[in-house]
Amino acid sequence: MPSLPAEDEIMEDARRFLAARITRDGLRPGTTPPPPAIPKDQARRRRSLRFCHLPTEPKLRHAPPRDSGAYVPEMAARIEDDRNLTDGARRCARKLMEYYHRKSRATRSGDITVTWLMRALGKSRRQVQRYLRQLEDAGYIAVQVVRASTRMCVGLFIELLAPLFPRHHRQKWPQKLIESDAPPMSHNNRLRYKYSRESWALRCMDGVFRSFMRTLSPLPAFPVTV
């Protein structure tokens, strides 16, 4: 397949055709003669100045976040060196470490929703689900689906695994200081069931499977010979 001519070649051919036409028919009154041909290096320089060196527009800057005092605890450097993770998945792991270090330091696990991660990371639901899948496949977290008394999913139960922690904090985090007069934490545990993602997907497909089975016609009676 022949290659297409470059822009400079097209302009040079047009300029040559216009000069030959002016030589043959003369210049019309009120028109200006065509500009002289520009050398190739000068044409490239002008094109570069016209397109590549334009001043950049100032980007829209958001308001800086407030200083809440929250921080990300120490993490293993392995997550920074893992080439199977994207930068968004690493940021999601840091947000999970911050959340469980503040909410459930003893167990390093607990309930969380994708909606909360969406607001915390400023990403869409599909992107957050992709980040969690990457962290789970790499062995940094374990994810289970949480179902309450209804048949709907109320969130996720995420457990932080050992590869996410440094060696000196792999067993447990340092205990946080608690005020002596503070009331104890509530032990009002609601009845919840945990499912793996695979078993939850099969459970969600039960209704579709039952509806499909109702549409099937019954099998004909099997002939019985006496």
> Once rounded to an integer, what is the mean pLDDT over residues 137-144?
93
104-127 pLDDT, tens digit each: 888 899 899 999 999 999 999 999
- Give the pLDDT confidence score for residue 182 in this predicted structure: 56
In the predicted model, what is the mean pLDDT of the chain? 79
Tally Cβ neighbours within 10 Å of residue 220: 6
56-81 pLDDT, tens digit each: 677 788 888 888 888 899 999 999 99
> Tokens 């050398």 sit at which residue?
39
> Once rounded to an integer, what is the mean pLDDT over residues 14-29?
75
Instruction: Round to whole Å and give the CA distance between 192 and 203.
Output: 16
> Tokens 């992709």 sit at which residue?
130
Asked if residue 52 has pLDDT above 60, the reply is yes
Q: Which residue has the higher pLDDT, 189 or 15?
A: 15
DSSP category for residue 181: T
> Once rounded to an integer, what is the mean pLDDT over residues 176-198?
60
149-168 pLDDT, tens digit each: 666 777 889 999 999 999 98
* 195 contact partners, CB below 8 Å, separation of at least 6: 144, 145, 147, 203
Question: All domains of the chain, ordered by start, with CATH?
Answer: 78-173+191-202 (1.10.10.10)
Asked if residue 1 has pLDDT above 60, the reply is no
Name the pTM for this structure: 0.59
- Give the pLDDT confidence score for residue 3 in this predicted structure: 62
Q: What six digits make up the tokens of 194?
A: 């945990």
> Tokens 């005092």 sit at which residue?
69
- Give the pLDDT confidence score for residue 128 in this predicted structure: 95
